[in-house]
Amino acid sequence: MIVIDNTIVSDDLYMVNFVCKLSQCKGACCVEGDAGAPLEEEEISQIEDYMDEIKPFMTDRGKRTIEKTGVFDYDANGDFVTPLVDGIECAFTNFVDGVAFCSIEKAYREGKINFQKPVSCHLYPIRITRYKNYYAVNFHKWIICKKALKNGDSIGVPLYRFCREALIRKYGEKWYYQMEKEIQAIGR
């Protein structure tokens, strides 16, 4: 593991190769699971502020869910997450040709808002767990990403490089380049 400031980075970030292709997995991480995507408290207000711009990209079922529950829910641990439609897909999920996409990100990419999507979604399959004095940065191993692991192996892209933009968004360039320096010192 690598320690940078108050984060502990799992060896998996440089030992595991990973390249997601939505055409293969169909965006299963937006649909599978037992809870919505983790949300940071400040993301809730950003989503609330941009709902008028996000709604045109949402399904009717997603809109009804948001109208009923609001833009967030709680998981089994009491943490903030995106709400689920009928306990299945994220309320912000929409589908094009059977592939799930994020309505928040669609509004961002079309220049309607300046919030890309929840950072937990951007980071996936990296998950961050908060402990009393530090944060653990780990690879979330899930069968739905099996093809992404094969893709990563075939072209030799480690997880930390695949998630570069998201890691920089979360922790900043200085943190990312420090991690990269530590990884290179290990010989990876």
At 40-57, the pLDDT tens digits run: 999 999 999 999 999 999
At 107-128, the pLDDT tens digits run: 999 999 999 999 999 999 999 9
Average pLDDT over residues 75-98: 92
pLDDT of 143 reads: 85
Average pLDDT over residues 22-36: 82
Tell me: pLDDT of 35 over 90. Answer: no
Q: What is the mean pLDDT of the chain?
A: 92
pLDDT of 28 reads: 79
The DSSP-derived string for the chain is -EEETTEEE-THHHHSB----HHHHTTGGGT-SSS--B--HHHHHHHHHTHHHHGGGS-HHHHHHHHHH-S-EE-TTS-EE--EETTTEETTEEEETTEEEEHHHHHHHTTS-S--S-HHHHHTTEEEEE-SS-EEEEE---GGGHHHHHHHHHHT-BHHHHTHHHHHHHH-HHHHHHHHHHHHHHT-
